[in-house]
Structure 1
Amino acid sequence: MRHLAALLALPLLALAPPPKGSPPLTEQTQRSGGPLTPEQTALRFDHADLSFEVLPDQQALTGIATLTFTARAAITRLVVDLDRNLPISAISIDGRALPRTAWTNPEGRLTITLPHPLAPGKQVTARISYGGTPHVAVNAPWDDGMVWSKTPDGRTWFATTAEGYGCDLFWPCLDFPTREPASVDLHITVPAGLKAPSNGRLLGIDHLPNDRTRWNWRARQPNTYAIALNVGPYEEISGSYKSRFGNTIPMSYWYLPGEKAKAEALFAEFAPTLDFFEATVGPYPFGDEKLGVVETPHKGMEHQTINAYGNNYAKAPEGFDWLFHHELSHEWFGNQLTAANWDDYWLHEGFGSYMQPLYGRWREGEARYNVMLDTQRNQIANDHPIVRGKVLTEEEVYEPKLGGPGTDIYYKGSWMLHSLRWLIGDAAFFKAMRIMVYGRDDPKPGNFRPRFGSTAEYQRIVNQVTGKNYDWFFDAYLRQASLPDLVTTPLAGHRTELRWKVPGASTFPMPIEVSLDGRTQRLAMTNGAAIIDTSPGTHLVIDPEARVLRRNPAIEAFRSRSNQQRSRK
């Protein structure tokens, strides 16, 4: 493969290093998800062969993307997403070069007129040569783009993040969750002395003129935003894990020089954490590729088989690295199970966040589980519903100013799962989770593939597994902003009524535990209410083990004070 910079003949040496947040993005490029065009829904994405050259001195990127699609319906145009900050120098269709007039990309939605109409079932291959100055992230990974940095000794340290704005920041793609390519080949060319760990399996390293190297990787069905470039003078720790399912999983961690002791301590967490996930959820989904982690100049991100890690080796009080654990959880919840629409984003983050208290329980027992859940409980905002029932962009979910639930997809999602687990029991809860993640209850290495899922599907699975209808539960927690409120009312005859008050629902039959003078009983609350005897002097504690997510005025007051203090700063 030829030197991409020379091939594209772009005036890269004239480019000054861009400041953060530039070059600016169009509204189209900043949007990930949302409605697709008819031409995009008509495509099955078969394969992407992506060649990149990273040019640190110019903070530039060049690329050749060879994309293969199969038409599901007749089309006359290919429509893919690509940031216009990466101008296109050439496009060919099935080996035939197109004239410059055959494509246009004014706002970041690249439209290519095909030489002839494509019939249903027919395949087409587009080769797109492009390059330039990609958008630089302001505060990765909370906003996206390139992260150009230096190691302590002044060498290049580079990474990409794309979850929020999408894959089109640096490669031409279909920027929608369900438009994953079936397979991807990556070829990443870097300057002398640098390495480029990436997704999937390493096929080999080519040595090129001027001491450059090209790193060749292959990944199957990667999440669109999970394709990642990572470049630095990395050192590597590697090993293997003998799975409880009988297969052997390669493990690798790429870290910066001078951090060997810290890196070894983090790597020591890989195997026990993997064992927890395999015991709790099921087989590691990409055991035939690797469990890979790379140190990055940003906090972290769930890049499939090459999770980004930037937590500075800081263990939390629970004794493990929460960031490593959380990003690894996304190999199951995000990469194996991918939300079919960003409106279902909580399937990634709610499950991913719930795995941390479950791991605390796995390691230390119920006390640690409860402490970790309590920390999450204080961060629930309840400003917007978690699910709105329509096609949304990632930012419309992640940004409260756009009506999104924001971090409630993490913490409220986690607490909802905590309550559901108590409601239906461990056997049903974990069975429903396995079916949701793998599409079957008996996952084994080789008998499943990555899949897409939705809130509605998970709801159906829970109902099927339990043999009961729990739509009322999901409607209350996911489709309403406010939490269910358990109202207590004294009645005559030394009795007390407990009644659920739930926005948008006439009945909420959520059982609740009460403790009367230290004796705990479970109230069925069949019609959303119950009456208990509370003789004079009786000490009543509602939900003593904090099983149920419900309105808490004390937490609301705490959050209000905290928000006021922040606004005054």
Structure 2
Amino acid sequence: MNKLLLLAILISGVSQAQFFEEAKPTKIDTLKGSNTEFRNFWDVKKYDIVLEPNFEAKSIKGSNKISLTIEKDVLNPVFQIDLQSPMKADKITASFPIADKKVDGDFIFISTKKKFKKGEKYTIDIDYSGNPVIAKYAPWDGGWMFTKDKNGNPWMTAADEGIGASIWLPVKDIWSDEPDNGITFKIITPKDLVGVGNGKLIKEENLGDKKSWLWEVKSPINDYSIIPSIGKYVNFKDTFDGEKGKLDLDYWVLDYNLDKAKKQFEQVKPMMKAFEHWFGPYPFYEDSYKLVESPHLGMEHQSNVAYGNKYQNGYLGRDLSGTGIGLKWDYIIIHETGHEWFANNITAKDQADMWIHESFTTYSETLFVDYVFGKADGNKYLQGLRGNIQNDKPIIGTYGIRNEGSGDMYPKGANMIHTIRQVINNDEKFRQILRGLNKDFYHQTVTASQIQNYFSEKSGIDLKSIFDQYLTTIKIPTLEYKQNGNQLTYKWTNVVPNLKLPIRLADGQELKPTEEWQTATLKSPDELKVDANYYIFTKKINP
């Protein structure tokens, strides 16, 4: 399930059961989602991509030069390249002798008969063509879009976070291996259209009745972020004075939406100021920040954020928190840009840990509100998101098969982080942990345990059981209690064993519940009220 799926369900009213089905792992799932023997001996260093779409035929063609380094000594290995049917590899060459080439469904296996040594550098060149899968509900189902703008001009793009970049491009399609040295991306278009890619535009070239647009990304980039957008675009620019100097702000919108975009995109600078405060410098100064108008709602494509929120605040004009606060700002601008820190700077190694992307980024909305509108509004917005929690299945998915967990990774994951913030009980320390994550894991792929251990180490608090509670179960901690005046008896129920989650009451008094009954004397005989910033339930038991 792709980006913003939970939110799409909430808006469309589609039954969650249609989407959240239990995965049934197969050999194909393992080939797609695991670091198998065909992948674990080589590391991608760079992609040099050429793409030319054909609007009338709904087809694409191009090439990808894959530069790689051998990670360990290996004899006669087989390289796996991913390219999903019905796309075809027209030509495959390499800088090493190829013994055999085999296409098996969505995979290309390149056999060799030689010894490869650690540190050696090679290239694999693949020409590709075909009619890629067409997205029916982009960005949620994934695929290409061949549509028209309101003036009848061709408008093309893709979205493939869940389904994988190999839906159109031959790549090593696994989250744990990004091209360390970035990409070049040449997009060939009809002469009256514009091709927008990731990073910075370094060359435009007229080719008779066509035109080429060469883009360059210097940073590592996850495969699903590599996205072209082709349309009748116009460009306007700005700069942001940030923590690392001047950041180029680059905006590409349909020609008839220019005035709307100039007004709506004024939200970018205060957003950047808020996010740099909480998370540290924008992670891709060398590649710029970009918003590109898209025919779908939006996606967090690195240095190339897709924007389709129709130049209105909220989520297509709706406040997901139900508080009114979400109508003060453009959800897609804020949420998708938050992913530049969590998803693009820090990327999960396995799709099962997609919560690292979505939980932190959903919480970035709260932190943005906190910074711009005040902490009270931030807390109110976050608490309002709880109405979207389904508790249908665990947030962490199944490892090794490209399987993500529950859509609760958005609202429930954000509430987990907010609960941890209450446990730390020091906003400056919490802020430094977030900034430290983005500094210490800068441009890296990570595991869940790395993120969890970092929080525990830097906070000085063992937070493992809290992460386990909210990520691996559908149980919400429930404080059962009996009250007689100011005398309280209480314990945890519905929790993982030995949950270490201290809580504060609304008046600031702290409790440290366990699964055994305890007693405490309250500050007053008033009815027990827990600080609403903790995502827990309470249940009063009659004495």
TM over 0.5: yes
Q: CA deviation at 1:68?
A: 1.4
What is the distance in 1 between the residues matched to 2:259 and 2:538? 44
2:11 paired residue number: none
Structure 1 position 94 matched with structure 2 position 102 = no
- Which residue is equivalent to 1:444? none
Structure 1 residue identity aligned to 2:147: S
Measured after TM superposition, the shift of residue 496 of structure 1 is 2.8
State the alpha-carbon separation in 2 of the partners of residues 497 and 229 from structure 1: 60
Query: Deviation at 1:32?
Result: 9.2
TM normalised by structure 2 equals 0.87
**Structure 1 pair 32/524, CA: closer, same or farther in 2 (3 Å)?**
same
Give yes or no for the alignment of 1:531 onto 2:532. no
Aligned counterpart, 1:164:
162
Secondary structure of 1:353 counterpart: helix
- Map Cα deviations across residues 373-405 of structure 1 (whole Å, 9 max, x no partner): 1221111122222236x52444x31xxxxxx32
User: How far apart are 1:438 and its partner, in Å?
Assistant: 2.0
Does residue 82 of structure 2 align to residue 81 of structure 1? yes
Partner of 1:233: 232
Q: 1:231 to 1:251 in 2, by over 3 A?
A: same
Partner of 1:353: 362
Distance 1:131 1:29 in 2: 23
Q: Which amino acid aligns with 1:36?
A: N
Q: Does 1:343 align with 2:352?
A: yes
* 1:12-51 superposed matches below 5 A: 34-51=33-50
1:472 counterpart residue number: 465
2:55 pairs with 1:68: no
Residue 156 (structure 1) shift: 0.6
Deviation per CA, 1:141-162, whole angstroms, max 9, x where unpaired? 1010001110111011111111
Q: Structure 2 CA distance, aligned partners of 1:468 and 1:203?
A: 48
Q: Secondary structure in 2 aligned to 1:199? A: coil
Deviation at 1:360, TM superposition (A): 1.3
Q: In 1, distance between residues paired with 2:222 and 2:387?
A: 31
Counterpart among 436, 452, 455 of residue 459 in structure 1: 452
Q: Is 1:391 matched up with 2:399?
A: yes
Q: CA deviation at 1:367?
A: 3.1
Offset of 1:526 from its aligned partner? 6.8
Letter in 1 for 2:462: N
State the match for 1:414 in structure 2: 414
Name the amino acid aligned to 2:534. Answer: V
Q: Does 1:513 align with 2:504?
A: yes
Quickly say closer, same or farther: Cα 1:259–1:121, change in 2 above 3 A. same
CA distance in 2, matches of 1:286, 1:279: 16
Matched residues in 2 for 1:166 and 1:43: separation? 20
Cα drift, residue 50 of structure 1: 0.7
Looking at structure 2, the residues matched to 347 and 364 of structure 1 have their Cα atoms a distance apart, in angstroms, of 25
Q: What residue number does 2:342 align with?
A: 333
How many Å separate the matches in 1 of 2:525 and 2:417?
32
1: CA distance, partners of 2:194 / 2:27: 32
Deviation of 1:308 after TM superposition, in Å, equals: 0.4
Mapped partners of 2:311, 2:63: distance in 1: 36
**Secondary structure at the residue paired with 1:487?**
strand
Displacement of 1:29 in angstroms is 8.4
Stretch moving more, 430-439 or 252-261: 430-439
CA distance in 1, matches of 2:194, 2:37: 40
Q: 1:419 to 1:372 in 2, by over 3 A?
A: same
The equivalent residue for 1:23 is none
Deviates more, 1:459-468 or 1:418-427: 459-468
Q: TM-score, normalised by structure 1?
A: 0.83
Moved more, 424-433 or 477-486: 424-433
Change beyond 3 A, Cα 1:197–1:494 = closer
AA matched with 1:81: D
Q: CA, structure 1 residues 483+32, in 2 after alignment: closer, same or farther (shift >3 Å)?
A: farther
Is the 8 Å Cα contact of residues 502 and 512 (structure 2) preserved in structure 1?
Answer: yes
Once the two structures are superposed, residues 219-261 of structure 1 have per-residue CA deviations (whole angstroms, 9 ceiling, x without a partner) of 1211111000100010111111111x24111101111121122
1: CA distance between counterparts of 2:270 and 2:259? Answer: 18
Cα separation, 2, equivalents of 1:552 and 1:311: 38
Match of 1:497 in 2: 489
Q: In structure 2, how many angstroms separate the alpha carbons of the residues matched to 1:252 and 1:553? A: 52
Q: Which letter maps to 1:421?
A: R
Write out per-residue CA displacement over residues 463-520 of structure 1, whole angstroms, 9 at most, x where no aligned residue. 21122322222222222221111111346x8733121113331x334222335xxx54
Q: How does 1:358-397 map to 2 (within 5 A)?
A: 358-387=367-396, 391-394=399-402, 396-397=403-404
Separation in 2, partners of 1:31, 1:380? 30
- What's the Cα RMSD here? 2.4
Q: Which amino acid aligns with 1:503?
A: V
Task: Trace 1:114-513 onto structure 2 (pairs within 5 A).
Answer: 114=112, 116-182=114-180, 183-210=182-209, 212-219=210-217, 220-243=219-242, 245-316=243-314, 317-318=324-325, 319-387=328-396, 391-394=399-402, 396-397=403-404, 404-405=405-406, 407-424=407-424, 425-439=426-440, 449-490=442-483, 495-505=487-497, 507-513=498-504
CA distance in 2, matches of 1:123, 1:151: 44
Structure 1 residues 41, 156: closer, same or farther in 2, change over 3 A?
same
Q: Which residue of 2 aligns with 1:542?
A: 529
Q: Aligned with 1:273: secondary structure?
A: helix
Pairwise CA distance, 1:57: 1.4
> Aligned partners of 2:516 and 2:463: how far apart in 1?
14
Pick closer, same or farther for the CA change 1:324–1:552 going to 2, 3 Å: farther
Aligned mates of 1:453, 1:160 — CA distance in 2: 26
Same amino acid, percent of matched pairs: 26
CA distance in 2, matches of 1:504, 1:419: 16
Q: Is the 8 A contact 1:302 1:331 kept in 2?
A: yes
In 2: Cα distance, 1:232 partner to 1:31 partner: 37
Change (3 A) 1:454 1:81: same
Alignment correspondent of 1:443:
none
C-alpha distance after superposition, 1:341-373 (max 9, x if no partner) = 112211110010011122112122133213311
The structure that has the greater radius of gyration is: 1
The residue that corresponds to 2:19 in the other structure is none
What amino acid maps onto 2:58 in structure 1? Q
Q: How many residues align?
A: 499
Per-residue deviation, 1:51: 0.6
C-alpha separation in 2, matches of 1:207 and 1:95 = 35
Contact persistence 1:52–1:61 (CA under 8 A): yes
For residue 302 of structure 1, report the CA deviation from its aligned partner. 0.5
Give the AA of the match of 1:408.
D
Is structure 2 residue 524 aligned with structure 1 residue 551? no
Inter-partner Cα distance in structure 2 for 1:113 and 1:462: 43
**TM-superposition CA deviations, 1:546-567 (whole Å, max 9, x none):** 121113789xxxxxxxxxxxxx
Alpha-carbon distance in structure 1 between the residues aligned to 2:377 and 2:34: 43
Unaligned runs of 5+ in 2: 1-25, 315-323
- Corresponding position of 1:14: none
CA distance in 2, matches of 1:206, 1:151: 25
Q: What residue in structure 2 maps to residue 562 of structure 1?
A: none
Are 1:93 and 1:114, in contact at CA under 8 Å, matched by a contact in 2?
A: no
